[in-house]
């Protein structure tokens, strides 16, 4: 992992994300791009009738000073930090900055385990998740002594999931984490016999060229299975696929991905299918 980007808004949540990103950057000797987007539109910037230019200049100077103070943290002293200020808030720009600097990971904070609906539905974090072509690590609540040793990624092992499974495998290697791939078998319409599951998994791994072990975990729902399996192996991170602009509500079926993101106590990393 060579570089990480963290969008910040000076909130407690964004500082928590900054701490996690700095831990990863320190471990991997990676650069840390810290991005702040001003609440200014192109119309305001171009037309002095909305706001006098001297006010805009004053606002930008105040923001630069606040940004400098925000980054004056002991845990950033050993990290190469590149501050970036964008003049207006366009969330697709996070992905554009990431691609420009060939960033490996975006790290963002959330408001914690409770109330994540406001984060993942129509929020800043979801907007970034929808536009990002690289993994987005969403940190929920205060994460003390962040580590990334055990990474759970649940898969349906259908052909359309091959690309995202490869992304998860690559991400685990970037983190230096052990990837635990799991198939959640439920007593619903998607129930498969043990032989059928192993046959599907075998074909999937051969076609994907992945030499991984996969565990089969039985539970009443996919969501419960992923969360319970993650707890069972003391996972550090859970990975879920997303469908870009269709949001997080298309993981396997219904709103499974969104439910996992909402209910997991662990950091969640998203991968665009």
Are 176 and 204 a contacting pair, CB within 8 Å? no
Report residues of the chain scoring pLDDT below 50.
41, 43-45, 112-122, 246-254
What is Dmax (Cα atoms) for the chain?
Answer: 71
Are 257 and 242 a contacting pair, CB within 8 Å? yes
Per-residue pLDDT, 180:
96
Strands 268-272 and 3-7: unpaired
CA–CA dist 209, 190 (Å, integer): 25
Report, at the CATH architecture level, how domain 3-140 is classified.
3-Layer(aba) Sandwich (3.40)
Per-residue pLDDT, 178:
95
Are 155 and 197 a contacting pair, CB within 8 Å? no
Per-residue pLDDT, 94:
82
Residue 174 burial (10 A CB sphere; 0-12, 13-18, 19+): middle
CA–CA dist 195, 178 (Å, integer): 26
3-140 shares its CATH topology with 150-272: yes
Per-residue pLDDT, 18:
93
| Tokens found for residue 145 | 């002594």
CA–CA dist 140, 81 (Å, integer): 23
Ordered by start, the domain boundaries in the chain are: 3-140, 150-272
CATH superfamily of 150-272: HUPs (3.40.50.620)
- CA proximity to 262, closest of 226, 232, 235, 233: 226
Q: Which residues contact 108 (CB under 8 A, 6 or more apart)?
A: 6, 7, 14, 17, 124, 125, 128, 136, 137, 138, 139
- CA proximity to 178, closest of 146, 214, 148, 208: 148
pTM of the entire predicted model = 0.81
Per-residue pLDDT, 21:
93
Residue 152 burial (10 A CB sphere; 0-12, 13-18, 19+): buried
């Amino acid at each position: 992992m060579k570089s990480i980007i963290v969008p910040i808004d000076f909130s407690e949540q964004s500082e928590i994300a900054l701490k996690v990103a700095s831990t990863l950057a320190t471990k991997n000797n990676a650069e840390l791009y810290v991005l702040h987007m001003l609440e200014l539109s192109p119309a305001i910037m171009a037309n002095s009738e909305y706001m006098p230019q001297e006010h805009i200049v004053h606002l930008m100077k105040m923001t630069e000073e606040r940004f400098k103070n925000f980054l004056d943290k002991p845990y950033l002293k050993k990290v190469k930090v590149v501050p970036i200020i964008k003049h207006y808030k366009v969330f697709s720009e996070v992905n554009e900055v990431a691609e420009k600097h060939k960033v490996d990971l975006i790290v963002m904070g959330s408001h914690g385990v409770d109330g994540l609906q406001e984060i993942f539905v129509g929020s800043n974090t979801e907007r970034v998740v929808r536009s990002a072509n690289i993994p987005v690590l969403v940190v929920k609540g205060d994460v003390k002594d962040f580590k990334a040793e055990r990474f759970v990624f649940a898969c349906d092992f259908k052909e359309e999931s091959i690309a995202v499974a490869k992304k998860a495998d690559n991400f685990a290697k970037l983190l230096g984490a052990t990837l635990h791939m799991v198939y959640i078998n439920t007593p619903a319409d998607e129930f498969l016999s043990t032989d059928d599951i192993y046959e599907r998994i075998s074909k999937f791994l051969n076609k994907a060229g992945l030499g991984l072990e996969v565990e089969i975990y039985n539970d009443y729902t996919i969501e419960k299975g992923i969360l319970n399996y993650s707890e069972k192996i003391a996972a550090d991170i859970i990975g879920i696929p997303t469908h870009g602009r269709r949001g997080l509500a298309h993981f396997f079926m219904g709103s499974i991905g969104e439910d996992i993101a909402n209910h997991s106590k662990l950091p969640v990393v998203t991968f665009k299918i």
